[in-house]
Every structure is written in C-alpha cells, then in structure tokens.
C-alpha cells in the first residue's frame, strides 16, 4: 500500500486509536489490497463486498474478525480516502451470542498452580483477581498498584479508557513478593515485546500448557479468567453496575451476559411448579 498505508497510520494516530488497534486496522487493509493485488484507491464497494463474502464463506471468519475487517475498511474509505459512500451500506453481521465458559474456584486454583513461571502465574492471578484483559495485565507498571486505596489503575484499556479496579489483599502479597525478587521496572512484568513488557502471545502459550497440566477439559483462554472474575463476583452478591465499572465496559449491556451464567443465582430461583398448592402460587384465573 506504500503511501496510502502511511496516511492511514497517521489518520488512526490522529483519531486516538490504540497501537494494537492501529496495527490490526492497517493489517486488514493490507490483506484486502493483497487479495485483489490492487491498491484500495483503485477499488470500491464491489470489491469490499466481495472480500467480506470471501472471508465469511471461504475463510469462515468469526463475527469478531468480520467486525474488525469491516471497521478497518470503513475507516480507510471514510477517513483516509474520503470516499464514505463506498462503505455506507455494508451489512452489520448478526451473531448468536454464546455464553462464556466459566471456571469453578477449584479449577482456577488448579490452573494457577499449574503455571510454573512466577511471572506468568502472577499475571494469571491479576486477571482473575482484578478482571483484567490479558493485554492490560501485561502492561501493568509498579506505580499502578495502589496499596493505600487497594485499587489497581488500569491505563489505556479498551477504547483508550483508564479505570480503577479492585486490588485483592492476597494478590498484593504475591505482587510484593514478586517485586522483591525481580525488582522489575518500568514494567511490572517485563518481556519480549517492542515496548518491553510481557507478551500476551507468550502468556497464551503458557496458559495452554497449564490447562493441559491441570487436567481441565473445558475449552478456555486467558480471557476465561476475566469471565470467571465477573461471574464469581455476581454470584457473591456484588451489584452488576459495580462489576461493569471494574471490567471497564462502556455499557451495562456488555456486562449483563454474566447474569445468564451465574449458576448460583439460577439455583436460588423457585420453579412455579414448587409453588403449586401453596399461598404463593399464581392464581390460574
């Protein structure tokens, strides 16, 4: 793409997109050009629709992948190429929302125990104890741990938003022990990324090995620890609006999925069959 790529990268930077989002958007624009072996400037709505169909039918792209490709090409044509009509009527793909897989407390403990590296074990603890995304956990700095107020400062989360989340007393003990041993700065968890912090990709590999060693048959990812954090809080009675803030969700709708997976809450519901013949039974009319 050459100069067009440079212009798109500059536009994304000016628009305030995060480094990871900029990389994803430019990458999908490059793959679009590579597919047709032409510059996007020479193409339009017809090629965009053909490419999206190819990704859905031929490549079996997930809903998330489709959403990112659509967003990347929409930005390219609307902002960088100044041709918004080319993407004005791209369909928004509907999806069947699957309930997240949740680990029990026992499974979380087995999983964390199976992570042999002290650094990656603490990263996993941070995800479960504070509900962080893997990228957020890997980018933590020592000053983000506020032991006086017992909160963790999450910087530049999804959508570029900062937030605070809970700092577990037990996690604080592990973090202090870890920091005494490694004295890592400026990143709490140094690693091989360009910025110098731990790599989410490496943690995913470590996580897969730990799942195997822990004997957990569920198909899970590091994000499962964040799902489990939210669900376990809801089951323990924490208000869903508070959980929304801790997770950094822009809307309550994103958090409400956890209402559907709280087995503890479901188990407390009394079936109307059990009320038949009692004063609490609903009149049949």
Give the active site residues: 133, 158, 223, 226, 249, 258
Q: Give CA–CA dist 146/153, Å, rounded.
A: 7
Tokens representing 149 are 């107020």
DSSP 149: T
Residue 155, SS3 per DSSP? coil
The four Cα atoms 143, 124, 220, 208 give a dihedral, to 10 degrees, of: 120
- The crossing angle, in degrees rounded to 10, of helices 3-14 and 19-36 is 150
The three-point CA angle 227-232-236 to 5° equals 150
153 strand-pairing partners: 164
Q: How many beta carbons lie within 10 A of that of residue 8, not counting itself?
A: 23
Contact present, 127 and 230 (Cβ < 8 Å): no
The three-point CA angle 127-128-134 to 5° equals 20
Q: Give CA–CA dist 100/261, Å, rounded.
A: 8
Beta strand extents in the chain (DSSP E only):
145-146, 151-154, 163-166
SS (H, E, C) 85-104: HHHCCCCCCCCCCCCCCCCC
212 HSE (CA, 13 A, CB side): 6
């Amino acid at each position: 793409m050459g100069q067009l790529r440079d212009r798109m990268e500059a536009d994304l930077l000016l628009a305030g997109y995060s480094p990871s989002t900029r990389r994803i958007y430019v990458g999908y624009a490059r793959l679009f050009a590579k597919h047709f072996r032409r510059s996007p400037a020479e193409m339009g709505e017809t090629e965009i629709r053909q490419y999206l169909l190819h990704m859905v039918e031929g490549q079996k792209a997930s809903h998330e992948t489709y959403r990112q490709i659509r967003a990347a090409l929409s930005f390219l044509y609307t902002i960088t190429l100044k041709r918004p009509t080319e993407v004005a009527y791209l369909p928004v793909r509907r999806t069947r929302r699957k309930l997240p897989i949740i680990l029990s407390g026992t499974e979380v403990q087995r999983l964390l125990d199976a992570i042999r590296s002290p650094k990656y074990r603490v990263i996993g603890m941070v995800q479960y104890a504070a509900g962080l995304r893997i990228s957020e956990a890997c980018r933590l700095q020592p000053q983000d741990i506020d032991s006086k107020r017992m909160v963790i400062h999450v910087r530049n989360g999804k959508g570029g938003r900062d937030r605070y989340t809970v700092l577990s007393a037990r996690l604080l003990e592990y973090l202090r022990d870890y920091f005494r041993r490694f004295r890592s700065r400026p990143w709490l968890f140094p690693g091989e990324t360009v910025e110098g912090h731990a790599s989410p990709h490496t943690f995913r590999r470590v996580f897969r090995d730990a799942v195997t060693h822990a004997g957990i048959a569920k198909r899970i990812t590091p994000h499962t620890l964040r799902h489990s954090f939210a669900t376990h809080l809801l089951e323990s009675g924490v208000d869903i609006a508070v959980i929304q803030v801790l997770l950094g969700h822009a809307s309550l709708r994103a958090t409400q999925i956890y209402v559907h997976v709280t087995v503890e809450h479901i188990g407390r519901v009394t079936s109307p069959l059990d009320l038949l013949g009692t004063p609490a039974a609903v009149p049949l009319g």
